[in-house]
Structure 1
Amino acid sequence: MLVADGGGGGSAPSGDGKPPADDTYDNWFWGQLKEVASEIASQNRMGIVARIFGNVLGWNSTPRGSGESAYDQSNPDYTKGLLTKPGYQAEVGVRETWPVNMDDCKAGNSAAYYSPLDANGRGQGARACLTDGDFGWVDGKTGEIKGNADSWLRGTPVPRKGPGAWTNPLWNPPGMGRGKDRSHLLANRLGGTGLDRRNLTPLLSDVNHPIMWNTVEKEVVGRLDSGHTMYYEVSAGYSGNSSDPYRLSYFWKDITTGETEYGRIVNSAP
C-alpha cells in the first residue's frame, strides 16, 4: 500500500509488521497507538492508515521473492529499486535482469519497477507492465481512488497540502524551483507513486503537462482502457551534475497488438 507518511514509531520498522526483538509487544503496541494519536492531531490521514493497517495489523508483512526486502516508505533505501505488484511491494537490489521487463509482460503480470536514485540523488527511470483492473490511482483533485482500490500497485499524486508537502525529501527531488513540477516518471494515472523520489524528477511545468500527457501518457491510458496489456518504460537523461533532466526517453509496446513507439521529450521551454 502506498502511503504519504509511514511515521516514525521509535525503533519499530514500519515495513515489518512486528515489534522489534528488543522490545515487548505491549510497549511496541502502545507506542504505535501514540503515533496514531499524533497523526490524528496533525490530520495526517494517510499516516493513520499506514500505522494501523501496515504495522499494527501486519498488512506490511507480505510475501516477497528472492533478493527482495520490506519497503519502509518513511525510510527508503535509495540504493535499491522499488518493485510494486498488485499483491505487495518490496525494495530490490541490483540484478542481472530487470524485475519488470517486456519479455515477461502479459495479462496477469502487472508490476512497476522504479530504478535506484543515482549518485546525485536523482530519479533515473521506471518500467511497468499493466493491464486494466490490476492497478489503481488516486484522483489528484477529488482524492477518490479509481481502478482497483485493493491493489498495492496504485498511483498517487505528489502531496500539495499539509505538513511537509513542499519540504519532505521523500517526495521533493533536488532542484525544485519556480516554474517546475515534481513530475512522475511513471504517471499517477499509470499506477505510478508520487510518494517516492525514485519516481520523481523536476520538469518544466509546460513540459510535464500538457506535453508529456498529450504526447505519451494519454495514448497508453487509452489503450489500457480498451482492455490492452501495455509495457511502458521511461528514463531521465541528465547532463553532468544538473538536477534537472534535459530529456525523458520513453518506449511502449502494446502487448495485445504488438504495436510499439519510442520517443524523447525535451525538457526545455517551447
Structure 2
Amino acid sequence: MARKKQKPPFSPAVMLMAILIILVLGVLGVQVPDSVQELFGIHPQTQQQTKPSSTKPSPSKNPGPKELGAATFSKTELADSKKGWIDYHSLDSLGRATGADALLKPNMVNTGTSANKDVRPPGFISGTDPHNHSRGHLIGRQLGGSGDDPRNLTTLYQTPVNTPFMTKYENQIRQALDKGETIRYRVTPIYEGTELLCKQIELEAKGLDRNTKIDFRVTILNEK
C-alpha cells in the first residue's frame, strides 16, 4: 500500500509570514529561539547576519585650544578711543589672510556679515565631507567682522576649529561687549611654508575695563 505524502504543517503563506516576522525581530535585536527558526527552515545565523553593524565615528585628533596665559598687547596697543575699529592685515604673496587687529565696542556687535560664497580663501575646497572646510572669519561676524573682505577670511576646518573652539572665545568677548566693555582683540593665522591652510590660529584678547574677565592668549590647531 502506497504511503501517503505528508503535508507540511503550515501553508506557504503562513510560513512566509512567519519568516518575515522572525527576520524583523532579528533586526530589532529580539532573540528568537533556534528551535523556532529551524521549524520554519531558517538557519540561526540568518538572523544574526540581519543585525545592523554599529560603527562609531572616528574621534577628532584635535587636542583643542591651548591657553597660553594673558594677552601680550603693549600699552600703546591698548590705547582706547571713542570709536571702535578693525584693521585687516594685507594678504601675502599666496593670497592668504595674515591677521586682523580690532578695538571692539558694544555698538559693533552683530554688525558683521556672513562669509561670502564668492570668496574662496586659499586652500578652500568644500564645506561638505570629507573636506569640512569653512571660510573662517578672523574677526567674527558677531564682533563686526566682514565676510566680504578676503583679508578677514582663512580656510579653517569647520568642526571642531571654527565651531566650537573659536566660537567659545568669541562668545566670551561678545558677552563682555554686551555688558558695555571695550575689548582689544587680535587674530593671527600661522602658516608653515607655502601651505595654503594655516597650521594654527592664535586669538588674543584684553578687556580695557578694570574689572574685566577678558585677558587671554590662545592657539588652536587647524586640524579635524
Indicate whether the TM-score tops 0.5: yes
Instruction: Note closer, same or farther for the CA distance 1:265–1:190 as it changes in structure 2 (3 Å cut).
Output: same
**Offset of 1:211 from its aligned partner?**
1.2
**Offset of 1:119 from its aligned partner?**
1.2
Q: Is the 8 A contact 1:102 1:129 kept in 2?
A: no
Match of 2:84 in 1: 110
TM-score, L = length of structure 1: 0.50
The answer to which structure has the higher helix fraction is 2
Provide the aligned length of Structure 1 versus Structure 2. Answer: 141
Match of 2:187 in 1: 234
1:199 has 2:152 as partner: yes
Please provide the CA RMSD for this pair.
1.5
Match of 2:177 in 1: 224
Gaps of 5+ in 1: 1-100, 138-153, 160-164
Partner-residue secondary structure (3-state), 1:103: coil
1:124 has 2:98 as partner: yes
Q: Distance in 2 between matches of 1:203 and 1:236?
A: 10
Which has the higher Rg, Structure 1 or Structure 2? 2
- Of 95, 115, 121 in structure 2, the residue corresponding to residue 173 of structure 1 is 121
Q: Distance in 2 between matches of 1:103 and 1:175?
A: 34
Q: Distance in 1 between matches of 2:165 and 2:109?
A: 23
Q: Is the 8 A contact 2:78 2:184 kept in 1?
A: no
Match of 1:155 in 2: 112
Q: Distance in 1 between matches of 2:113 and 2:156?
A: 18
CA deviation string 1:48-104 (max 9, x = no partner):
xxxxxxxxxxxxxxxxxxxxxxxxxxxxxxxxxxxxxxxxxxxxxxxxxxxxx7332
1:1-270 aligned within 5 A: 102-106=77-81, 108-133=82-107, 135-137=108-110, 154-159=111-116, 165=117, 168=118, 171-177=119-125, 178-206=131-159, 207-214=161-168, 216-257=169-210, 259-269=214-224
Q: Distance in 2 between matches of 1:248 and 1:104?
A: 24
Match of 2:63 in 1: none
The answer to which structure has the higher strand fraction is 1
Q: Is the 8 A contact 2:134 2:158 kept in 1?
A: yes
Q: Which has the higher contact order (CA 8 A, sep 6+)?
A: 2
Q: Distance in 1 between matches of 2:192 and 2:80?
A: 32
Q: Is the 8 A contact 1:128 1:231 kept in 2?
A: yes
Q: Distance in 1 between matches of 2:181 and 2:136?
A: 25
Q: Distance in 1 between matches of 2:97 and 2:114?
A: 16
Gaps of 5+ in 2: 1-75, 126-130
CA deviation string 1:206-245 (max 9, x = no partner):
111111101x111110100111111110100001111100
Letter in 2 for 1:155: G
Partner-residue secondary structure (3-state), 1:189: helix
**Offset of 1:136 from its aligned partner?**
4.8
Q: Is the 8 A contact 1:248 1:265 kept in 2?
A: yes
TM-score, L = length of structure 2: 0.60
